[in-house]
Homo-oligomer: A and B are copies of this chain.
Amino acid sequence: MLLDPTASGVYPIAPTPFHADGTIDWQSAEMLFAFYAGIGADGVTVLGIMGEAPKLEPDEALRLLKIAVKHMAGKPVIVGASAPGFAAMRSLSREAMEAGAAGVMIAPPNTLRTDDQIAGYYVQAIEAIGADIPVVVQDYPLITNVQMTPGVIRRIVTENPSVVMLKAEDWPGLEKISLLRKWQAEGTLRPLSIMVANGGLFLDFEMERGADGSNTGYAFPEMLIDVVQFSKAGQRDAAHDLFDAHLPLLRYEQQPGVGLAVRKYVMMRRGILASDAQRKPGAGLSAQGKAEVDYLLSRLARTDRRAKL
């Protein structure tokens, strides 16, 4: 099953579970993907930035992917394939597809600056991995330091038929989504799935601007699923009510560097992971930070019982 431009819904970005000693916690990995399948996630993304992918050995990465594929049972699993060289990108991509992945996600390296450099990079990367593998373009300037205009995205999509999805996490990004959708309505941009991320901070309005769904790692993906469904059903107030209830915690997750520690801590408290450990190097959460998250969880539990831990 290959990813295509009709993809929609919620594809959580999966963390990689570790034991305190830095080895992978395979039991938690099973638990994690069973959880995603159980809540009705429409797909999942592994080995992204949040998945601590550069710290994994190739065989670890492949094993994690296979666990995801097994649990997701036919639903798309996207694999982060960004790499400094095209050789590594190619071998990871092709092994991943053989292991059952539905497509690969490629972020631009932070050396790219001009429109030509960015567009040229995707042409070369896709030539390297093969044009038969569906590609997700990751637009995340806060992390990659690469700024893609809507025009560059259109150019990438036009020049590379295998690009089927945009992971849209520019900030601000609302007008960009509106413009891409306008171009599609006008027929100057072909169909493309737009999944939003950037921690989910603007999910409420991004859905109203035309996003197909969410592709982020918030520790309560059930909220993402509900908000996407409310929004698609036209229940605007319900979508915002639920989103706003989670916003204080979601905002707390939105701390560069510390965000992953918050997510893993919440997932541990929820019983989805056995430990909140990260493989080195990684930024931990102080005792006061944990107490602040606990306080936010207790406040959230007043309106969303899923936060009652």
Residues of A within 8 A of B (CB): 54-57, 83-88, 91, 110, 113-117, 121, 124, 127-128, 147-149, 151-152, 171-172, 174-175, 178, 201-202, 204-205, 208-209, 240, 243-244, 247-248, 251-252, 255-258, 279-281, 286, 288-289, 292, 299
- Measured CB to CB, the nearest residue on chain B to A201 is B251
Partner of A147, one of B83, B113, B247: B113
Contact A280 B128 (CB under 8 A): yes
Considering the chains assembled together, what is the distance between the CA atoms of A251 and B91 in angstroms?
38
Contact of A286 with B171 in the complex, beta carbons under 8 Å: no
Q: Determine whether the beta carbon of A255 is less than 8 Å from that of B172.
A: yes
- A48 CB, min distance to chain B CBs, angstroms: 14
The 8 Å CB contact of A87, one of B56, B152, B258, is B56
25 A–B contacts, CB within 8 A, in A order? A54-B84, A54-B88, A55-B85, A56-B85, A86-B280, A87-B279, A110-B110, A113-B113, A114-B115, A114-B148, A114-B152, A116-B151, A121-B281, A171-B255, A171-B256, A172-B255, A172-B256, A172-B257, A174-B255, A174-B292, A175-B289, A202-B252, A208-B292, A240-B248, A240-B299
CB–CB B288/A114 < 8 A:
no
Is the beta-carbon distance between A205 and B110 smaller than 8 angstroms? no
In the docked arrangement, what's the CA distance between A86 and B52, Å?
Answer: 11
- B55 and A87 form a contact (CB under 8 A): yes
Query: Cα distance A240–B205 when bound, in Å?
Result: 23
A20 to B240, alpha carbons, bound, how many Å?
A: 34
Q: Known contacts being A85-B54, A114-B149, is A124 close to B256, with CB within 8 Å? A: no
A87 touches B256 (CB 8 A): no
Indicate whether A86 sits within 8 Å of B55 (C-beta atoms), given known contacts A113-B147, A147-B113, A288-B178. yes
A244 touches B255 (CB 8 A): no
Partner of A292, one of B121, B201, B205, B292: B205
Give A116 to B292 CA distance when docked, in angstroms: 27
Q: Separation in Å of the A265 CB from the closest CB of chain B?
A: 14
Q: What residues of chain B lie closer than 8 Å to A279, measured between beta carbons? A: 87
A83 contacts across to B, CB distance below 8 A: 54
**Once bound together, how far apart are the Cα atoms of A205 and B257, in whole Å?**
18
Residues of B within 8 Å of A114, CB to CB, are: 114-115, 147-149, 152
Q: Which residues of B contact A280 (CB under 8 A)?
A: 86, 124, 127-128
Please determine whether A251 and B251 come into contact, CB atoms closer than 8 angstroms: yes
Shortest distance from the beta carbon of A117 to any chain B beta carbon, whole Å: 8
Contacts A54-B83, A172-B255 given; 10 further ones with Cβ under 8 A?
A55-B85, A55-B86, A56-B85, A86-B280, A87-B279, A172-B258, A174-B288, A174-B292, A243-B248, A251-B251
